[in-house]
Chains A and B, each alone.
Chain A
Amino acid sequence: EADIYQTPRYLVIGTGKKITLECSQTMGHDKMYWYQQDPGMELHLIHYSYGVNSTEKGDLSSESTVSRIRTEHFPLTLESARPSHTSQYLCASSPRTERNTIYFGEGSWLTVV
């Protein structure tokens, strides 16, 4: 079992609201990721981080932002949510020494109404 936690698991919010999806891992992993996944579709990388103070945009353009102030914490923020942001957001992490080994959190289901 991977020690990576996401909150909230489920969230329904109104259009225009600001939301932050929390992600924490207790494994000391350097690399962390945010993926977006619509039902029945593949995962798309939206943000990643090599370590503290490092953040990069992924393949899929996203209006969200991330920060990496602490190794264990990688929150994702939407300043003004829209219905098009409705999706599942998966946080993941990987250690520097195990190439391409990724551990996923349980996911956060976001619905914007």
Chain B
Amino acid sequence: KNQVEQSPQSLIILEGKNCTLQCNYTVSPFSNLRWYKQDTGRGPVSLTIMTFSENTKSNGRYTATLDADTKQSSLHITASQLSDSASYICVVSDRGSTLGRLYFGRGTQLTVWP
């Protein structure tokens, strides 16, 4: 069964600190992996997309890593800001269909305190 598991479920950090969110998946055949940020009451917004051949990708203070061998990804947030408080969702897609099936994790709820 294709699954996407994220950890931790929730995380509280102080403003200015760094944090790392984890995503493990069993989706096969793998196509790509995305990290989305979802603010409370809003729709998800894409942060990064990584394909099989990419190990690291950065978007400002966000850095995603991918290990396709162990089927693990991480999202590292540097120098956190209050606006980083949100749910971070890992989404993995397969390449077994024209639609490109998407598998969603439950997200990690990050809270940044001043």
**Given A40-B106, A40-B109, A42-B104, do A104 and B31 touch, yes or no (CB 8 Å)?**
no
Q: Is the CB of B45 within 8 A of A42?
A: no
Cα separation A6 to B32 with both chains bound (whole Å): 27
Cα separation A54 to B104 with both chains bound (whole Å): 24
Shortest CB–CB separation between residue A51 and chain B, in angstroms?
Answer: 12
State the majority secondary structure of interface residues on B.
Answer: strand
The yes or no answer to A78 lying at the interface (CB within 8 A) is: no
The yes or no answer to A76 lying at the interface (CB within 8 A) is: no
Shortest CB–CB separation between residue A113 and chain B, in angstroms?
Answer: 19
The yes or no answer to B80 lying at the interface (CB within 8 A) is: no
Q: Give chain B residues whose Cβ lies under 8 Å from the Cβ of A106.
A: 42-43
Total A residues in contact with B, Cβ cutoff 8 Å:
22
Q: Give chain A residues whose Cβ lies under 8 Å from the Cβ of B36.
A: 104
Shortest CB–CB separation between residue A60 and chain B, in angstroms?
Answer: 11
Q: Which candidate, A11-19, A65-73, A79-87, A95-103, is the interface stretch facing chain B?
A: A95-103
Cα separation A31 to B109 with both chains bound (whole Å): 29
B42 nearest CB neighbor, chain A only: A106
Cα separation A59 to B43 with both chains bound (whole Å): 20
**Given A40-B109, A99-B31, do A104 and B43 touch, yes or no (CB 8 Å)?**
yes
The yes or no answer to A52 lying at the interface (CB within 8 A) is: no
A59 nearest CB neighbor, chain B only: B101
The yes or no answer to A45 lying at the interface (CB within 8 A) is: yes
Contact of B45 among A44, A100, A104 (CB under 8 A): A104
Shortest CB–CB separation between residue B24 and chain A, in angstroms?
Answer: 14
Bits for B76-114, please: 1 = Cβ < 8 Å to A, else 0. 000000000000010101000001101011110100000
Ranked nearest first, the 8 interchain pairs of A and B with the lowest CB-CB distance are: A104-B43, A100-B93, A42-B104, A100-B100, A43-B104, A42-B106, A106-B43, A104-B44
